[in-house]
């Protein structure tokens, strides 16, 4: 019995899928059939009524959608409804011209009702009303909606590179995952396709309005000729019958067209928020009591002018004034309720000092000014809290250990928009952020300037501007990378975590790494720590790696290398160099990816010999040599970055540690690698040289 139920369920599902797949072709065939096959008056009534109902449904759907992509099928629906109206015009024209001599109900009750009831049977009034509707539809609504769709499509296409860069920036910062990034890219592409389709589909509506005028003229002229020449009707009788039928036919088609054009205008002119159009209008028009009071005063003054319709103006004055009074009372009640529900501050005697008053220094801290509190307040759904969690998770996945929890507190001594990042109680970063505004970062190839507060990106030092929300799309079109205040703080935190990773790695974190590795490689951990290398030396080695941005995720290789060499060497620096050679393939992959030919910075042979002699003499460089080396390294670094290559200096293994310590003081972006760390299957090519003029 259960198998039979499952089988019938699958059949119902397959039948439903087939019906959805065949709905479109069947609808097109029916529309085309109406142009060819004659329809009885009752069928015309049914189809005209369906056309009106469909137009109302489309308008309501467009009113209740919250963003354009919620009604992504609108361009196709616009095409189908236009074809349906034209097919009905062809079918009704055939009936009007063939059966119009029998009376005004020859083409159905719907056309007769629009010709008799809506315009009172006066074809002159009907002609004027029809022309007004066509002009409104053609010149105002359709033209405006088409222009908005055209500009929207152009801006969306121009803004696509900037939006893609913003998505990539969030992905690289760990704020979103691969699935979210893929979905956002798809939405950006679909939004551009939607506005482009709406730009083209609006041409169908304009063409439909022109076709309606032509069809009405053809119906009038053809009806007069057929009525007088074929059926022997007088001019007045033929004009009364066929003109009313033509006008009724035109009105019954143009009114749904006007409704659908209005729906198109609503869809393309709305601003994307989490509210539909009705909620936006009510929530923004009737929310400020001062606006309502001023409007009531103006209406009251007009109502007291002699000769004006005083009752109507004074009625609206009373309505607006009453609504303003209601809103003011509602706000007062809300404030009073908050004051009543607020708990009184406790009045307790100050307790004696205890060990609970001793506060240890937080490893990581974030202090914010009072205007940044909403970003980190969980009760106000502060978005920065979730982004900090994502940054810590991304850091743990990339670097190899879990950073400490970020302790957040407000600091009234800071500026209102200032935040400070601290490590072990010491400030490591400070910047300003402006909630509600956007930071437009200049990546180096922008095509225009923006009005705002000039500043620098706190993470990477790039020139940037704080802008209002209204300039966001313009900034993306100009090529700026636009991010909100929460993203600015999270990216700054992520940058500082990588820079100070070595200082955050304590004995507790090292022991947790060993415990994690011991779950799968227990014997390796027990044979290495502390038998071969102590926990303190291992911590120093890992800190050395982190200070040069080398990931410690591969703890198995690190311990294998130490187990092999720690017996012959106990110095942490020498052991770090050995571990780097074992991790050479991963280090090369980090800076060069899958490139087979590595474009690097090299040392001049003469300078290399001088440095070897200095190292053998104690490792100290003469001041003149040190300045020259720093200047030439800086020049080589700039040439390497200008050519788009990684800023990597490759030297002999014995010189790597010395040059890395020396250059890292001023050139944070300079990476120093040993020739022994380069895998054998990679080829070195020196593109910049340090010390060529030495």
Dump pLDDT digits (tens) for 566-577.
777 778 889 999
Angstrom distance (rounded) from CA 465 to CA 439: 6
Average of per-residue pLDDT across 636-647: 86
Q: How confident is the model at residue 694 (pLDDT cuts 50, 70, 90)?
A: very low
Average of per-residue pLDDT across 660-668: 81
Vertex 615: Cα angle to 613 and 619 (nearest 5)? 135
For domain 359-500, which CATH number applies: 2.40.110.10, 3.90.79.10, 3.30.70.100, 3.40.30.60? 3.40.30.60
Dump pLDDT digits (tens) for 111-153.
676 666 555 556 667 667 777 777 766 666 666 666 666 666 6
Contact 256, 54 (CB under 8 A): yes
Dump pLDDT digits (tens) for 349-406.
667 777 776 777 888 999 999 999 888 887 777 788 889 999 999 999 999 999 999 9
Taking the model in full, what pTM does it have? Answer: 0.54
| Per-residue confidence (pLDDT) for residue 148, from 0 to 100 | 63
Vertex 129: Cα angle to 125 and 135 (nearest 5)? 145
Side-by-side strand order, sheet with 683-690: 671-674, 648-651, 597-603, 683-690
**Can you list the positions of beta strands (E) in 190-265?**
none
For domain 505-582, which CATH number applies: 1.10.8.540, 3.40.50.970, 3.30.1360.150, 2.40.30.10? 1.10.8.540
pLDDT at 8 over 80: no
Question: Residue 505 burial (CB < 10 Å; 0-12/13-18/19+)?
Answer: buried
Angstrom distance (rounded) from CA 448 to CA 581: 47
Name the average pLDDT for the chain. Answer: 79
DSSP for 583-605? THHHHHHHHHTT-SEEEEEEE-H
Closest by CA to 544, choosing from 457, 368, 653, 664, is 664
Angstrom distance (rounded) from CA 200 to CA 694: 66
Domain parsing of the chain, residue ranges: 23-280, 299-333, 359-500, 505-582, 588-694
Average of per-residue pLDDT across 533-556: 92
Side-by-side strand order, sheet with 426-432: 406-410, 364-368, 418-423, 426-432
Query: What percentage of residues in the chain have a pLDDT greater than 90?
Result: 22
Q: Which fold has domain 588-694?
A: Rossmann fold (3.40.50)
Average of per-residue pLDDT across 587-597: 90
DSSP lists the bridge partners of residue 602 as 689
């Amino acid at each position: 019995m259960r198998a039979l139920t499952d089988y019938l369920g699958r059949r119902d599902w397959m039948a439903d899928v087939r019906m959805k797949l065949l709905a479109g072709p069947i609808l097109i065939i029916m529309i085309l059939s109406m142009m060819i096959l004659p329809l009885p008056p009752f069928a015309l009534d049914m189809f005209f009524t369906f056309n009106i109902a469909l137009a109302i449904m489309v308008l309501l759907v467009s009113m209740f959608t919250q963003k354009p992509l919620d009604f992504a099928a609108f361009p196709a629906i616009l095409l189908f409804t236009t074809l349906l109206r034209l097919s009905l015009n062809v079918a009704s024209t055939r009936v009007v011209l063939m059966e119009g001599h029998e009376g005004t109900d020859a083409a159905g009750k719907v056309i007769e009702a629009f010709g008799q009831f809506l315009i009172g049977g006066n074809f002159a009034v009907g002609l004027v009303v029809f022309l007004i509707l066509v002009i409104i539809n053609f010149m105002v609504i359709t033209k405006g909606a088409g222009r908005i769709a055209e500009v929207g499509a152009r801006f969306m296409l121009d803004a696509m590179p900037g939006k893609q860069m913003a998505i990539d920036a969030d992905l690289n910062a760990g704020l979103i995952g691969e699935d979210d990034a893929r979905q956002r890219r798809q939405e950006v592409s679909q939004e551009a396709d939607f506005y482009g389709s709406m730009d083209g589909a609006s041409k169908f509506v304009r063409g439909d309005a022109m076709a309606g005028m032509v069809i009405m003229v053809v119906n009038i002229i053809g009806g007069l000729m057929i009525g007088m020449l074929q059926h022997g009707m007088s001019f007045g009788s033929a004009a009364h019958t066929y003109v009313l039928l033509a006008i009724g036919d035109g009105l019954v088609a143009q009114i749904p067209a006007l409704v659908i054009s209005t729906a198109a205008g609503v869809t393309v002119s709305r601003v994307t928020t989490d509210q539909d159009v009705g909620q936006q209008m009510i929530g923004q028009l009737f929310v400020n009591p001062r606006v309502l009071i001023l409007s009531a005063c103006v209406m009251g003054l007009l109502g007291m002018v002699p000769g004006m319709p005083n009752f109507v103006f004074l009625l609206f004055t009373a309505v607006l004034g009453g609504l303003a009074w209601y809103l003011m009372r509602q706000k007062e009640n809300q404030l009073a309720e908050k004051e009543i529900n607020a708990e009184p501050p406790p009045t307790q005697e100050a307790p004696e000092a205890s060990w609970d008053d001793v506060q240890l220094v937080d490893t990581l801290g974030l202090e914010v000014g009072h205007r940044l509190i909403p970003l980190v307040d969980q009760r106000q759904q502060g978005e920065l809290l979730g982004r900090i969690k994502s940054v810590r998770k991304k850091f743990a996945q990339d670097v190899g250990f879990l950073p400490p929890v970020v302790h957040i507190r407000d600091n009234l001594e800071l500026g209102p928009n200032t935040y400070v990042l601290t490590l072990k109680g010491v400030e490591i970063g400070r910047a300003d952020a402006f909630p509600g505004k956007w930071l437009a970062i200049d990546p180096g190839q922008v095509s225009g300037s923006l009005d705002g507060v000039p500043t620098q990106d706190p993470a990477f030092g790039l020139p940037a501007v704080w802008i209002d929300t209204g300039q966001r799309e313009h900034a993306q079109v100009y090529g700026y990378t636009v991010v909100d205040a929460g993203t600015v703080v999270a990216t700054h935190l992520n940058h500082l975590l990588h820079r100070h990773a070595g200082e955050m790695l304590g004995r507790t974190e090292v022991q947790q790494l060993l415990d994690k590795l011991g779950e799968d490689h227990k014997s390796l951990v027990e044979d290495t720590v502390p038998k071969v290398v102590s926990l303190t030396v291992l911590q120093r080695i890992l800190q050395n790696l982190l200070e040069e941005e080398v990931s410690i995720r591969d703890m198995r290789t690190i311990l294998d290398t130490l187990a092999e060499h720690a017996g012959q060497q106990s110095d942490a620096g020498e052991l770090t160099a050995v571990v780097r050679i074992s991790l050479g393939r991963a280090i090369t992959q980090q800076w060069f990816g899958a490139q087979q030919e590595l474009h690097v910075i090299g040392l001049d042979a003469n300078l290399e010999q001088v440095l070897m002699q200095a190292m053998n003499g104690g490792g100290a460089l003469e001041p003149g040599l040190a300045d020259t080396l720093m200047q030439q390294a800086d020049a080589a670094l700039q040439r390497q970055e200008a050519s788009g290559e990684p800023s990597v200096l490759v030297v002999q293994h014995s010189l790597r540690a010395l040059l890395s310590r020396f250059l890292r003081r001023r050139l944070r972006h300079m990476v120093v690698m040993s020739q022994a760390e380069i895998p054998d299957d990679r080829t070195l090519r020196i593109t910049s040289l340090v010390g060529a003029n030495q």
